[in-house]
């Protein structure tokens, strides 16, 4: 028996009913070639970088087992083509996940902190105000013998490009 784990990120703007529909569709697609042994919603989290103009995403972890790995390629294609899924990653596990891992739904670290980060989204950053004060007191750096080189300009003679030794 081969065990797999898929972590995927769903568009955060979907309501719970729409999210449930997406989860059922993903399970149905995986069910064609394997058996789902766990499906947990981790919740909405901030992304490290924007994906499809989204700063947040709903993370979902799914574990499944299969006798053959031939359906994995088709499943990964399905996940890439599914417009509701921002990103997906499937990995093979060495052993079956424990029941504790399968039943455990990972909550948000701190809901108040998450809500505060959403509220602060449109406000100006305090660090940028502080950095502008520092820019006024910054020293000017002199640049010696710098000149711009166009792409078509030859290499300066001071650089030895000969590979032959005389």
Q: Residue 105: CB partners within 8 Å, gap ≥ 6?
A: 40, 41, 42
Query: 16-30 and 72-81 helices cross at what angle (nearest 10)?
Result: 150
Report the run of H or E that residue 22 belongs to, with start and end. helix 16-30
Q: If one looks up domain 2-121 in CATH, what number appears?
A: 3.30.70.60
**Domain spans, the chain:** 2-121
The DSSP bridge pattern shows strands 35-51 and 85-93 to be: unpaired
pLDDT, tens only, 6-23: 999 999 999 999 999 999
Provide φ and ψ at 126, rounded to 5°: -65, -35
The predicted pLDDT at position 99 comes to: 77
Instruction: Determine the pLDDT at residue 97.
Output: 85
Q: Is 52 left (phi over 0), alpha (psi -120 to 50) or beta?
A: left
Low-confidence ranges of the chain (pLDDT < 70): 101, 104-166
Question: Which pLDDT belongs to residue 33?
Answer: 92
- So what's the pLDDT on residue 162? 56
pTM of the model: 0.62
């Amino acid at each position: 028996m081969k065990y797999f784990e898929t972590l995927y990120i769903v568009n955060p703007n979907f309501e719970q009913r729409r999210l449930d529909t997406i989860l059922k569709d993903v399970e149905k697609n995986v069910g064609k070639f394997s058996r789902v042994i766990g499906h947990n919603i981790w919740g909405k989290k901030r992304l490290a970088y924007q994906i499809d103009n989204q700063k947040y995403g709903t993370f979902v972890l799914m574990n499944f087992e299969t006798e053959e790995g031939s359906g994995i390629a088709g499943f990964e294609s399905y996940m890439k083509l599914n417009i509701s899924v921002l990103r997906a990653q499937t990995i093979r596990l060495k052993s079956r996940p424990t029941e504790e891992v399968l039943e455990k739904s990972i909550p948000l670290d701190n809901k108040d902190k998450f809500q505060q980060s959403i509220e602060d989204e449109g406000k100006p950053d305090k660090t940028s105000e502080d950095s502008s004060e520092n820019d006024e007191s910054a020293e000017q750096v002199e640049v010696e013998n710098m000149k711009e080189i166009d792409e078509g300009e030859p290499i300066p003679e001071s650089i030895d490009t000969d590979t032959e030794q005389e």
